Structure 1
Amino acid sequence: MSRFFGKIRQAGYVVDDIEAAMQYWSDTLGVGPFFYKERVPIVNYRYRGKSYEPHNSVALANSGELQVELIQTRNDVPSMYKDFRDAGHRGLQHVAYWTDTFDADLDRLTQQGYKVVMEGEVGENGRFVYFDTHYHPGTVIELSEVAGPKGRMFDAIRKASEDWDGNAPVRPFPDLSKI
Structure 2
Amino acid sequence: MILHHLGYVVRDLSEAARRWYDVAGIGPFLVLDHVHFDTLTVDGRPAAFDHSAAFAAHGDLFIEIQEVHAATPAAAADFFRLGSLPALQHLAYVVDDPASTAARFEANDIPQTVAAATSGLSIAQYDLAPSLGFAVEIHPRTDELTALFEKVRAAADGWDQSTFLQPFG
Fold in common (TM above 0.5): yes
Greater strand proportion: 2
The aligned amino acid for 1:140 is A
Q: Which residue of 2 aligns with 1:150?
A: 145
Q: Which residue of 1 aligns with 2:40?
A: 45
Greater helix proportion: 2
Instruction: Calculate the TM-score normalised by the size of structure 2.
Output: 0.85
What is the RMSD computed on CA atoms of the aligned residues? 2.2
Q: Which residue of 1 aligns with 2:72?
A: 77
Does the aligned pair in 1 maintain the 2:14–2:164 contact within 8 Å?
no
The separation in 2 between residues aligned to 1:66 and 1:138, in whole angstroms, is 20
> Is structure 2 residue 53 aligned with structure 1 residue 58?
yes
**How far off is 1:54 after superposition?**
1.5
For the structure 1 residues 45 and 79, does the alpha-carbon distance in structure 2 shift closer, same or farther, using more than 3 Å as the test? Answer: farther
For the structure 1 residues 79 and 145, does the alpha-carbon distance in structure 2 shift closer, same or farther, using more than 3 Å as the test? Answer: farther
The superposition leaves residues 59-78 of structure 1 with CA deviations (integer Å, 9 ceiling, x where unpaired) of: 11111111100011101324
The separation in 1 between residues aligned to 2:95 and 2:158, in whole angstroms, is 26
Instruction: Calculate the TM-score normalised by the size of structure 1.
Output: 0.81
The separation in 1 between residues aligned to 2:3 and 2:105, in whole angstroms, is 16
> Is structure 2 residue 111 aligned with structure 1 residue 115?
yes
**Residue aligned with 2:146, SS:** helix
Q: Which residue of 1 aligns with 2:123?
A: 128
The superposition leaves residues 88-132 of structure 1 with CA deviations (integer Å, 9 ceiling, x where unpaired) of: 3422121111113323432343344321011101321x1111112
**Residue aligned with 1:31, SS:** coil
The separation in 1 between residues aligned to 2:9 and 2:117, in whole angstroms, is 19
Alignment gaps of 5+ in structure 2: none
Does the aligned pair in 1 maintain the 2:3–2:93 contact within 8 Å?
yes
**How far off is 1:85 after superposition?**
2.2
Alignment gaps of 5+ in structure 1: 1-5, 175-179
Aligned length: 167
Q: Choose 16-25 or 154-163, whichever is displaced more.
A: 154-163
**How far off is 1:145 after superposition?**
2.1
